[in-house]
Structure 1
Amino acid sequence: MTSDIALILGMDGIASGAIYVLVGLGLVLIFSVTRVVFVPFGDIVAFSALTLASLQLGRTPGTVYLVAVLAIAACIVDSLHYWRRGQPHRIGRSLLGYGVLPLIPASIAWLVAGAALPSWAQIPLTIALVVPIAPLIDRIALQPIADASVLLLLIVSVALHFCLSGLGLLFFGPEGFRTEPLTSEIFSFGDVVVTSQTLLMIAAAAVFSLMLFLFFEYTLAGKALRATAVNRTGARIVGIRPASAGTLAFLLASLLGAISGILIGPVTTLYYDSGFLIGLKAFVGAIIGGLSSYPVTAIGAILVGILESFASFWSSALKEVVVFTFLIPVLLWRSLTLGHVEEEDEEVEG
C-alpha cells in the first residue's frame, strides 16, 4: 500500500465516518433522553435516500402513506390519552402536532407526484416527509411503555425495525437506488483526487455537530433535554415533561437521519434494508462513546469509517466482520472500567 492509496482510503473513511457521526449522535441523543436504543434509526436514513430517489424518478414515495397512517394513529393514541386524563382541551394541540403538520408535506408529495421538481424543492420535501417518522413512532409505540425496562424497550425497538424494513420492501421494492449527486466538482491535491460530495459530507457532519453543541449549550430546549438525560425525576420536579423532551429528541435525531440519507444517497447504492448496517456501524461509534458522550461518539464514528475503508481495501467481503469485531474489545474495556449499576438502582437514583 502506497502513501497515496492510504490517503485516499483515509479520505473515504472520514467521509463514511461523517455519516456515522450524524447517525451516532442521533442514537446517543435518543438513548440519553428516553433510554431507548432506537434500532430503526438506520431505516430512517435509508428511507430518506429512497424517498429522494423516488421523487427524482417522478414516483410517489411510499413514505407518503407511511406518514399518513402514522399521523392518524398518533392522533388517536394521543387523543385517547388526554381524554382518559380528563384534559380534552389539549386534544386540539395534539391533532395539530401529530396530525396536521406531518400531513402537510405528505399531501404536497402526493399532489406533485410525477411532476419534475427541481432539486432545491426535492430535498426539503424529502426532509419534511422523513423527519416526522421517528416522533410519530415514538408516540405510538414507545411513549406508552416509557417507564418499562431498557430490555423491553430494546425488544420493541427491534420489532419496529423489522416492521419498517418490511414496509420498505413494500414501498420501494427489492432493487437498489442511488440519488443524483448534490455537487459534481472535483478537486486535486497533488496525486489525490477528492470529490466535492466527499467534502460536503465531512462539512455537513462538522456543521450539524457544532449546531447540536450550540443547541445544548445556549437554548432553553437544549438545556431541558440535558436535564432530562441527567435526571428524569429531577426534570419533572422543575417542570420539564420527559415525554415532551423525548419527542424533541426523536425529532432532532430524525432530522440528522434524514440529512444523512440525503448525503449518502449519491455515493452508495441503497436498498430497503441498507439502513440496518448503517445504523449498526454508527452504534459501534455510540458504544465507544458510552451512549452518553457526544464528542467521543463522533471520534468513535470516524474511527469506524476509517477502519471500514481500510478493511474493504484488504478484503471487501470481510469489512463488516472487521468493523463489528472491533466492538468486542470496546465492550470488554467498557465492562472493566465502568462499575455495574443495576437498573433498579438507576431508577432510585433518578
Structure 2
Amino acid sequence: MDFSIALILLQDGVVNGAIYALLGMALVLVFAVTRVIFIPQGEFVTFGALTLAMLAGGQVPGTAYLLPLMGLVVLVLELARALRSGSWSALPGVLASCVALPLLLLWLVRAYAGPHTSVWVDMLLTLLLVVPMGPMIYRIVYSPLAEASVLVLLIVSVAVHFALVGMGLIVFGAEGWRTSSFIDGQINLGFMTWSAQSLFVVLVCALLIVALWLFFGKTLYGRALRATAVNRRGARLVGISTAMSGGLTFTLAAAIGAVSGILIVPITTIYYDTGFLIGLKGFVGAIIGGLISYPLAAAGSLLVGILESFSSFWASSYKEVIVFTLIIPVLVWRSLSHRHTDDEE
C-alpha cells in the first residue's frame, strides 16, 4: 500500500464513518431518553434510501402506502384509549397528523412524483414520508411499554426490526436500488482529491451534528430531552411529559436515519435488508461511547468507518468480522471499570 491508496481508503472511511456517527448518536439519544436499544434504526436508513430511489425512478414508493396504514393503527389505539378514559381531546390532533397528513402525502406523491421532478423535491418528499413513522412506531409499540425493563424493550426492538424488514421486502421488493450522484465533479484539497459527492456527505453529517448540539443546548425541547435522559422521574415531577419526550426522540431518530439513507444511496446499492448492517456499525460506535456520550459515539463511529475501509483492502473477506470484533475489548473494559446499577423503577 502506498500513500495515495491510503488516502483513498481514508476518504472512504471518513465518509462511511460520518454516516455511522449520525446513527450512533441517534442510538445514544433513543437509549438515553427511553432506555430502548433501538435495533430498527437501520431500517429508517433503508426506507429513506429506497423511497428516494423509487421517487427518482418515477415510481410511487411503498412508504406512501405504508404510512397511512400505520396512521390507521395509531388512530385505532387512540380511539380505544379515549373510550377507556373518556378524554377525546387528543383525537383531532391524531386525525390530522396520522390520517389526514399521510393521505395528503399519498395524493401528492401519486400526482406529482416522477422522473421530471427535482431530486431536492424528492428528498423533501422522502423525509415527509419516512420521518412520521418514528413517532408512530413509538406510539404503537413502545409507549405502552414505557415502564418495562431494558431487557423487555430490547426483545421488542428485535421484533420491530424483523417486522420492518418484512415490510421493506413487501413494499420495495428484493431488488437493489441506487441513485445517481447529487453533485458531480472533483474537489482538490491540496494533499488529496475528494469527489464532490463524498465531500457533500461529510459536510451534511457535520452540519447535522452541529444542529443536534444546538438543539440540545439552546432549545426548550432539547433541554427537556436532556432532563428526561438524566432522570425520568424527576422530569415527570417538573412537568415534562415522558410520552412527548419519547415521541420527539423517535422523530429525531427517524429523521437521522432517513437523512443517512438519502446520503448513502448514491454511494452504494441498497436492498430492503441493508440497513440492519449499517445500523449495527453505528451501534458499535454507540457502544464505544457507552450509550451515554455523543462525542465518544461519533468518534467511535468514525473509527469504525476507517477500520472497515482499511480492512476491506487488507482482508476484504473478514472486514465485517474485524469491525464487530472491535466491540469485544470495549465491552470487557466497561464491564471491569463500571459498577452494576439497577434500572430506574
Q: Could you say whether these structures have the same fold, taking a TM-score greater than 0.5 normalized by the shorter chain as the test?
A: yes
Counterpart CA distance in 2 for 1:71 and 1:175 is: 27
Counterpart CA distance in 2 for 1:173 and 1:287 is: 32
Shift of 1:192: 3.5
Counterpart CA distance in 1 for 2:308 and 2:330 is: 16
**Does the residue aligned with 2:58 lie in a helix, a strand or coil?**
coil
Q: Deviations over 1:102-154 (max 9, x none)?
A: 44323311333556312121110011111111211111111111111111111
Match of 1:138 in 2: 138
Shift of 1:56: 1.1
List alignment gaps of at least 5 residues for structure 1: none
Contact 1:15 1:202 in 2 (8 A): yes
Match of 1:13 in 2: 13
**Does the residue aligned with 1:179 lie in a helix, a strand or coil?**
coil
Instruction: Confirm or deny that 1:180 pairs with 2:180.
Output: yes
Instruction: Confirm or deny that 1:98 pairs with 2:82.
Output: no
Match of 2:47 in 1: 47
Counterpart CA distance in 2 for 1:107 and 1:83 is: 31
Match of 2:86 in 1: 86
Match of 1:62 in 2: 62
Counterpart CA distance in 2 for 1:270 and 1:186 is: 24
Aligned residues: 345
Counterpart CA distance in 2 for 1:155 and 1:107 is: 36
Q: Deviations over 1:246-265 (max 9, x none)?
A: 00011111111111001000
The 1:290/1:103 distance shift into structure 2, 3 A limit, reads: farther
Instruction: Confirm or deny that 1:198 pairs with 2:203.
Output: no
Name whichever of 147-156 and 114-123 sits farther off: 114-123
**Does the residue aligned with 1:89 lie in a helix, a strand or coil?**
coil
1:153-302 residue pairs with structure 2 within 5 A?
153-189=153-189, 192-302=192-302
TM-score of the pair, normalised by structure 2: 0.96
Q: Which amino acid aligns with 1:252?
A: L
Counterpart CA distance in 2 for 1:190 and 1:207 is: 23
Contact 2:56 2:114 in 1 (8 A): no
Counterpart CA distance in 2 for 1:104 and 1:10 is: 44
Name whichever of 81-90 and 319-328 sits farther off: 81-90
Identity among equivalent pairs (%): 52
Name whichever of 332-341 and 320-329 sits farther off: 332-341
Counterpart CA distance in 1 for 2:182 and 2:173 is: 24
Contact 2:39 2:158 in 1 (8 A): yes
Shift of 1:97: 2.9
Q: Deviations over 1:313-343 (max 9, x none)?
A: 1122211110000010011111111111122
**Does the residue aligned with 2:171 lie in a helix, a strand or coil?**
helix
Counterpart CA distance in 2 for 1:215 and 1:191 is: 35
Name whichever of 267-276 and 158-167 sits farther off: 158-167
Q: Deviations over 1:189-243 (max 9, x none)?
A: 4573310111111111111111101111111000000011111111111111101
Counterpart CA distance in 1 for 2:42 and 2:299 is: 19
1:305-344 residue pairs with structure 2 within 5 A?
305-343=305-343
Match of 1:29 in 2: 29
Counterpart CA distance in 2 for 1:94 and 1:341 is: 38
Counterpart CA distance in 2 for 1:40 and 1:100 is: 26
Counterpart CA distance in 1 for 2:197 and 2:53 is: 17
Contact 1:311 1:318 in 2 (8 A): yes
**Does the residue aligned with 2:90 lie in a helix, a strand or coil?**
helix
Q: Which amino acid aligns with 1:140?
A: I
Counterpart CA distance in 2 for 1:184 and 1:243 is: 44
Name whichever of 235-244 and 172-181 sits farther off: 172-181
